[in-house]
Homo-oligomer: A and B are copies of this chain.
Amino acid sequence: MKRNSRLSLALHTLSHMAGEPGRVRTSADIADHAGTNPVVVRRVLGKLREAGLLTSEKGHAGGWQLAKAADSITLADVYLALDERLVAGSGGDAESSHCSVETGLQSRVAEVLDDIEESLVERLRETKITDVHPSSCSYCGS
């Protein structure tokens, strides 16, 4: 995989799980599907577990599973669980600039970008995982 694939990986995985909610999947299975590494999968899905979206079981028949109904999970849940800040993260150091405009107003740019970020989350809240799952999915028969 390439870059910033966490969100994509999470969405793919959750989408698959939405198709077969009962099935327990191992990190290795998921990594195969996603063309990546089991450890990477655990890293990403671990965040989703912390956020209460997934559960994981250790041991022999262990693996990953949805913690709640797929239609109760929105993209915002996933996005926030991963600590993504696609827009607002765009600021540089800023440090303590000697520019009077910057220091005096504390760089309103950051403020504006925060607003945009918030709007993005609001928009993400409108889409559920079930909306991502293909409507005509030959794989899960739905």
Contact = CB atoms under 8 A, between A and B. Distances in A.
Contact of A120 (B7, B93, B123, B138): B123
Copies in the complex: 2
Interface stretch (A54-62, A64-72, A100-108): A100-108
A12 B132 contact: no
A91 interface: yes
Tell me whether chain A's interface is mostly helix, strand or loop, or mixed. Answer: helix
Given A11-B112, A99-B33, A120-B116, A5 B91 contact: yes
Contacts of A63: none
16 contacts: A1-B92, A1-B93, A4-B90, A5-B90, A6-B90, A11-B109, A33-B99, A35-B92, A99-B139, A105-B134, A105-B137, A108-B133, A108-B134, A112-B127, A112-B132, A115-B127
